[in-house]
Structure 1
Amino acid sequence: MGLPSLAGLDGGALGNRFSLVSSLPMSAGALVVTFVVAAGAPADEPSWDRAVRTARSMDAADVGLLAVAVLVLAVLLHPMQLRLVRLFEGYWGGSRPAAWLAALLTHRQRLARRRLAERAELDPDATTVPADAADADRLRRARYPNEPLLPTALGNALRAAEQGAGRPYGLDAVVVWPRLYPLVSDRQRAVVEDRRDQVDLAVRMSATFALVAVVTGALLWRHPTWWLVPLAASGLAVLAYRAAVAAAVAFGEALRVAFDLHRFDLLTALHLPLPRGIENERGQNQRLSTWLRQGGAAPERYHHPDRPGDPAADPNGDP
């Protein structure tokens, strides 16, 4: 039985995304902190036996009250998920300490990208691409965008996804994606949403376990034999962050596939003529992206397939 059910709500009422991204990490974090407190911390030396006795002494009302408290906290924090992801991406504001830290970490990211680029370099006389060079080039493209870089691996992986999705076709993915998303097939949309949920879940898990490490570290500071708890929470926070980076790379791949398969659906939905070749497509899409992003010259002609006699339509023409 999940926390929404204990509170009288099911997963459908709050949404599967809320249950996965918010309720699960919050429940895990609350469980660890509650266990440490039930074991006797911070006043007394923690004891497994004491934790078990405390758990057995709790009645249904106690469990329900705790579940509702966790659920309310999860609901309150759920709208902050985007802000949390952006924090993990490296958007830290313009203060002097934040700018100094961002510059330092961005330099490290640039060095990591350079190392991958060096591994991907081919000998001038090479007739085949070594597997290591191919893997390094693929990883560099998936994890690092063009300039400007961000100070974190997650931020760069997500920015690489944004830059790489529509670029081969002249599309600005950030501008076009809200318009393309409703046109994506159900199967591909499910893949994109699942991988985005994996990013959000891993980020929330990382933040939750980092907070758990701080809280349990404070509760167990005087009890060295229990320091394994905050250390384990710290390790899980790092592991979850690495999972978030891997999920961001997978999300970028799903995003690129969505553009590969459905970019013409966008033109059809906007009643714009389909291009004849890749060069025409790039030029048309660049103008379309500019128009959608900042205005300017609108498309000169529309294509209305349901009105073939419309003089404004040219079914076989290019812009």
Structure 2
Amino acid sequence: MKEELSHAREVADAVDSATADRSSPAQPYPRLEDQIVSQREFMRYRLRRDRAKRQLDLYPPDEADLLPTRLGNALRAGERRAGERFGWETIDAWPRLYVGLPDSLALAYRSAVDAVDAAAVFCLTFLVVALLAVAAFWDDLALWWVPAAALFLSYASYRGAIASTVTQGILQQVAFDRHRFDMLEALHQPLPATPDEEYKQAEMLSAHFQEANPKDARTYLANQRYAHAEPPRARAIQWLRDRLGAG
């Protein structure tokens, strides 16, 4: 897996360099035909760059997090690119964020998870069928298309599981992008004023979520003040006071 990741990075870097060189030619081409050829070459480089980027997105950013399988790496990449961009440990923060998501986003995420589970089940099922078919039709070469077809379906299901895993990771990123502050409000935590404050607060709360010892968990909330939302009646009274004061 490390060799595949290194190769993908080399391809992406090489294509980026070539694309940058071709994006701004030193002199304009005098003939229209030359301009068309150059534009086609530039578009081919961009397509190669996009393919290389999609390949890199299937791996976690840090090589230390690599797993033996592509499906595992796609899952890990989704975790690393979701909450950890903001300081959250995705595995620990996700259950707390998920319960507060709007129905549309939660439904899309559940659909992606179901697709991953179904594809994984089909992959294993077809693989078992392929192995049993090999044993059953070992002496009958005319029926070897059965295990070959089952093996192909197993591989196709595995690729489908990877694609659904990528979708699952993207939806997790969207959830953290749009609703991480809703989670802070639900936890009665003050909203950070800057990205640095947010990162430190997320790290502190993630450590608190991970702590299994109740006594040790208290240390992560030491000197913290809760931010309780005002009840609707209090907000209405304050609004009325502001209106009367302005009048």
Q: TM-score range by the shorter chain?
A: 0.7 to 0.9
Aligned to 1:258: 175
Higher relative contact order (CA 8 A, sep 6+): 2
- 1:113 matched to 2:5: yes
Structure in which a larger fraction of residues adopt helix: 2
Q: Which residue of 2 aligns with 1:293?
A: 210
Q: Aligned pair in 2 of structure 1 residues 270, 114: CA closer, same or farther (>3 Å)?
A: same
For residues 224 and 138 of structure 1, what CA distance do their matches in structure 2 show?
40
Whether 1:171 and 2:88 are equivalent positions in the alignment is: yes
Cross-structure match for 1:214: 131
The corresponding residue for 2:17 is: 123
- Size of the aligned set, in residue pairs, is 201
Unaligned runs of 5+ residues in structure 2 are: 24-41, 212-216, 235-247
Q: 1:164 to 1:229 in 2, by over 3 A?
A: same
Q: Distance in 1 between matches of 2:106 and 2:205?
A: 23
TM-score after normalising by structure 1: 0.59
- Normalised to the residue count of structure 2, the TM-score between the two structures is 0.75
Using the alignment, how far apart are the partners of 2:170 and 2:176 within structure 1?
Answer: 10
Q: What are the superposed Cα offsets for residues 84-118 of structure 1, whole Å, 9 maximum, x if unpaired?
A: xxxxxxxxxxxxxxxxxxxxxxxxx1111111111
Q: What secondary structure, in the 3-state scheme, does the structure 2 residue paired with 1:183 have?
A: coil
1:31 aligns with: none
Distance in 2 between the 1:144 and 1:166 partners? 13
> Paired residue for 1:278, among 195, 203, 208?
195
RMSD: 2.3
How big is each residue's C-alpha offset from its partner over 1:56-92, in whole Å with a ceiling of 9 and x where there is no partner?
Answer: xxxxxxxxxxxxxxxxxxxxxxxxxxxxxxxxxxxxx
Select the residue among 55, 78, 85 that pairs with 1:139: 55
Percent identity over the alignment?
A: 36
Shift, 1:148, TM fit: 2.5
Q: 1:225 to 1:123 in 2, by over 3 A?
A: closer
Helix, strand or coil at the partner of 2:65: coil
> How far apart, in 1, do the equivalents of 2:198 and 2:103 lie?
25
Asked whether the equivalents of residues 60 and 80 of structure 2 are also in contact (C-alpha less than 8 Å), the reply is no
Deviation at 1:134, TM superposition (A): 4.5
- In structure 1, runs of 5+ residues without a counterpart are 1-108, 310-319
